[in-house]
Chains A and B, each alone.
Chain A
């Protein structure tokens, strides 16, 4: 349904996306995970036809987005990062307009508008102006506008940003329902928990490049069975590096004057010897955190920084 090959996008010589390739099929939720500025929105922009790729090819439902834009776009739904709604119009008018934008009209449109209002839980507010809605309600309507024309491919660009926990759960349920109905979903986020809960397959982006890709199990496996140990305090990185040499299977992921990250199998059992090595290196530990293998620990291991940085 979505095929991205060797995608590259430059802005005035600045490379935003480089050599990105992936594919997602019907009923699959494919996640693009990465920090702000990693290139997720640019990738979605190229897939949706908003941006023209500098190089590479994007096909949606077999249609090249650059060469057959109308055919490629007709089965595509988009839920942008911002709440792209007409706040001075009622909810039903918004749904009606976006339905018409994709060719719906007449009775089928009216029925679909009612149905989507039901799906997103806004039937009782159908005639109210969007400007009177809460943030969560706006996000749900934003999602509704993306699915009003029953797309086969759904692009979701961080749809839960700034949403309260209750609305987030509701939105994630809506996304799952779409996938269950056979829709191919491309989901970008920088929330690891969301990606872990939702996505069947994932690609982790950093600085415009895919640094890891696969199922959640694949990615966890690439971490091995190693936990992530983060130490906060005061350190001499060189001295710590030297003192850690004596410890087996301990990998220094990142080291700084105030924080050190280590990948260690069975970290909770090996904490005493790790702390001894740090003390031997002249370090003072104020806080210790042990994390089980996760996307976050994978991201830190791959990039040396946290996802939300």
Chain B
């Protein structure tokens, strides 16, 4: 036991001296995670700026503009009234997603059921947001056509009244309202009940897909994956220098060397896990239901990955071969295991495969711990499984280490 501790102490001193590598192990996944969150999620909801040059100023024109300011569309479209020249200049500068030009007498033409032309200039450097604007405009124009047919009579009365001078008389307003009611009653037969029943289910609070939350556990596992890979390569440097040969001929043997090296690796992995969890909490504002449990799970999983990669290194015939082999294992694991792409964004078949990889399997449990949804029994069994794997791998590695070192 003392030699295990001595080996662990020696390796921890060496890891501490190589602190830039430690920073890289911690920093790269956090940096990748931060970039992914900024690119795809977090608070950075994309918005389309629609410039509107309203040369008509009618009620219909205002209603049309209002389409882009209501409901969910209003959350992604920001409408700004501009003069035509300013609008054209700004769209050329790429300062907006689109410019809607409403010509004079547009409202009158719509109410008269006459052809009218709208001009929508889109920003060629954008693809998705201008498309949304086009779709919304098409929808609004079709809706106006339906409304024109549905409320034919009251609209005609409005037109007659608007043709006169001043405000309409109260009797006219009352008769228009009655006409709208009658038209509405007439349409009731095919409007109510609606041909399509739309059921809306509100998501429970906090159930929204949160990219930061989805990426964060994966980034922690990714950090451990990289770090375990890096730590496993130390065997080659010890073999190259001859210290490994010297150590395996010491009386305590290869088993204690493996245990000592993994103990030091576990401590370093635990440190990185703690820093990662703290960074998630304080830098990214991610609430972790049980930080202590998450910490222990990460340290355990990191040790398991270190054991796995140590064995992979021993399968190689050269240091270069070992690096190639470990990378050949690490990269698919990182891609499939939910670290680069959350399982929710994968095709279901790929997500299923990813969840069976060691890191994907560990990630599912980590996410449950972070969300406070971990089942204690399942987690205990999982921890025992990881420990058992570490012990079995340790036995295999210890048996191979002597001849490998020679």
Please state if A84 and B10 are interface contacts (CB–CB under 8 Å).
no
- Kindly provide the distance from the CB of A49 to the nearest chain B CB, expressed in whole angstroms: 5
Question: Which residues does chain B contribute within 8 Å of A102, judged by CB atoms?
Answer: 250-251
Question: Which residues does chain B contribute within 8 Å of A21, judged by CB atoms?
Answer: none
Within the complex, which residue of B3, B7, B246 is in contact with A78, where a contact is CB–CB below 8 Å? B246
A49–B245 Cα distance when bound, in Å, is: 10
Using A80-B242, A88-B18, A105-B2 as known contacts, say yes or no to A50 and B10 having CB atoms under 8 A apart.
no
Within the complex, which residue of B17, B247, B252 is in contact with A88, where a contact is CB–CB below 8 Å? B17
Nearest residue (CB) in B for A105 is B2
Question: Which residues does chain A contribute within 8 Å of B402, judged by CB atoms?
Answer: 50
Nearest residue (CB) in B for A100 is B6
Using A73-B250, A73-B251, A74-B251 as known contacts, say yes or no to A97 and B6 having CB atoms under 8 A apart.
yes
- Is A85 interfacial (CB-CB < 8 Å)? yes
- Is A103 interfacial (CB-CB < 8 Å)? yes
Please state if B249 and A84 are interface contacts (CB–CB under 8 Å).
no
Nearest residue (CB) in A for B250 is A101
Using A70-B251, A73-B251, A101-B3 as known contacts, say yes or no to A84 and B13 having CB atoms under 8 A apart.
no
Please state if A50 and B406 are interface contacts (CB–CB under 8 Å).
yes
Question: Which residues does chain A contribute within 8 Å of B405, judged by CB atoms?
Answer: 50
Within the complex, which residue of B2, B247, B406 is in contact with A51, where a contact is CB–CB below 8 Å? B406
Please state if A84 and B251 are interface contacts (CB–CB under 8 Å).
no
Question: Which residues does chain A contribute within 8 Å of B14, judged by CB atoms?
Answer: 86, 88-89
* Complex interface residues of chain B between 227 and 282 (CB less than 8 A to chain A): 241-243, 245-253
A101–B248 Cα distance when bound, in Å, is: 10
Nearest residue (CB) in A for B18 is A88
How many residues on B have C-beta within 8 angstroms of the other chain's C-beta atoms?
24
- Is A45 interfacial (CB-CB < 8 Å)? yes
Within the complex, which residue of B2, B10, B249, B253 is in contact with A86, where a contact is CB–CB below 8 Å? B10
Most chain A CB neighbours (cut-off 10 Å) among B242, B248, B251: B251
- Is A161 interfacial (CB-CB < 8 Å)? no
Please state if A83 and B248 are interface contacts (CB–CB under 8 Å).
no
Question: Which residues does chain B contribute within 8 Å of A76, judged by CB atoms?
Answer: 249
- Kindly provide the distance from the CB of A295 to the nearest chain B CB, expressed in whole angstroms: 28
- Is A115 interfacial (CB-CB < 8 Å)? no
Please state if B249 and A50 are interface contacts (CB–CB under 8 Å).
yes
- Is A56 interfacial (CB-CB < 8 Å)? no
- Is A48 interfacial (CB-CB < 8 Å)? yes
Within the complex, which residue of A73, A82, A100, A105 is in contact with B242, where a contact is CB–CB below 8 Å? A82
* Complex interface residues of chain B between 348 and 406 (CB less than 8 A to chain A): 402, 405-406
How many residues on A have C-beta within 8 angstroms of the other chain's C-beta atoms?
30
Question: Which residues does chain A contribute within 8 Å of B249, judged by CB atoms?
Answer: 48-50, 73, 76, 78
Nearest residue (CB) in A for B402 is A50
A81–B242 Cα distance when bound, in Å, is: 9
Question: Which residues does chain B contribute within 8 Å of A51, judged by CB atoms?
Answer: 406
- Is A87 interfacial (CB-CB < 8 Å)? yes
Within the complex, which residue of B7, B10, B251, B406 is in contact with A69, where a contact is CB–CB below 8 Å? B251
* Complex interface residues of chain B between 197 and 252 (CB less than 8 A to chain A): 241-243, 245-252
Question: Which residues does chain B contribute within 8 Å of A74, judged by CB atoms?
Answer: 251
A76–B248 Cα distance when bound, in Å, is: 13
- Is A299 interfacial (CB-CB < 8 Å)? no
Question: Which residues does chain B contribute within 8 Å of A100, judged by CB atoms?
Answer: 2-3, 6
A203–B208 Cα distance when bound, in Å, is: 80
A300–B366 Cα distance when bound, in Å, is: 70
Please state if B243 and A85 are interface contacts (CB–CB under 8 Å).
yes
Using A50-B249, A98-B246, A101-B6 as known contacts, say yes or no to A82 and B17 having CB atoms under 8 A apart.
no
Question: Which residues does chain A contribute within 8 Å of B252, judged by CB atoms?
Answer: 70, 101
- Kindly provide the distance from the CB of B126 to the nearest chain A CB, expressed in whole angstroms: 52
Nearest residue (CB) in B for A48 is B249
Within the complex, which residue of B2, B6, B241, B406 is in contact with A83, where a contact is CB–CB below 8 Å? B241
- Kindly provide the distance from the CB of B237 to the nearest chain A CB, expressed in whole angstroms: 9
A50–B245 Cα distance when bound, in Å, is: 7
* Complex interface residues of chain B between 1 and 40 (CB less than 8 A to chain A): 2-3, 6-7, 10, 13-14, 17-18
Question: Which residues does chain A contribute within 8 Å of B253, judged by CB atoms?
Answer: 69-70
A70–B3 Cα distance when bound, in Å, is: 14
- Is A93 interfacial (CB-CB < 8 Å)? yes
Please state if B241 and A84 are interface contacts (CB–CB under 8 Å).
yes
A48–B246 Cα distance when bound, in Å, is: 9
A45–B248 Cα distance when bound, in Å, is: 11
Question: Which residues does chain B contribute within 8 Å of A98, judged by CB atoms?
Answer: 246, 250
Question: Which residues does chain B contribute within 8 Å of A73, judged by CB atoms?
Answer: 249-251
A89–B241 Cα distance when bound, in Å, is: 13
A84–B246 Cα distance when bound, in Å, is: 7
Nearest residue (CB) in A for B406 is A50
Nearest residue (CB) in B for A97 is B10
Question: Which residues does chain A contribute within 8 Å of B247, judged by CB atoms?
Answer: 101
Please state if B2 and A84 are interface contacts (CB–CB under 8 Å).
no
A275–B247 Cα distance when bound, in Å, is: 57
A181–B73 Cα distance when bound, in Å, is: 91
A50–B10 Cα distance when bound, in Å, is: 22
Question: Which residues does chain B contribute within 8 Å of A70, judged by CB atoms?
Answer: 251-253
Most chain B CB neighbours (cut-off 10 Å) among A81, A84, A103: A84
- Kindly provide the distance from the CB of B7 to the nearest chain A CB, expressed in whole angstroms: 8
A73–B251 Cα distance when bound, in Å, is: 5
Nearest residue (CB) in B for A81 is B242
- Kindly provide the distance from the CB of A149 to the nearest chain B CB, expressed in whole angstroms: 9
Nearest residue (CB) in B for A74 is B251
Nearest residue (CB) in A for B6 is A100
A-B contact pairs, 9 of them (CB 8 A): A48-B249, A73-B251, A84-B242, A86-B243, A87-B241, A88-B18, A89-B10, A97-B6, A101-B252
> Which residues of A pack against B, CB within 8 Å?
45, 48-51, 69-70, 73-74, 76, 78, 80-89, 93, 97-98, 100-103, 105, 145
Report, nearest first, the 10 A-B pairs whose CB atoms are least far apart: A84-B242, A82-B242, A100-B6, A101-B250, A84-B246, A73-B251, A48-B249, A70-B251, A74-B251, A97-B10
A78-B246, A84-B241, A88-B18 given; 14 more Cβ-contact pairs under 8 Å = A50-B402, A50-B406, A69-B253, A78-B249, A80-B242, A82-B242, A83-B241, A84-B243, A85-B241, A86-B14, A86-B241, A89-B17, A102-B250, A145-B246
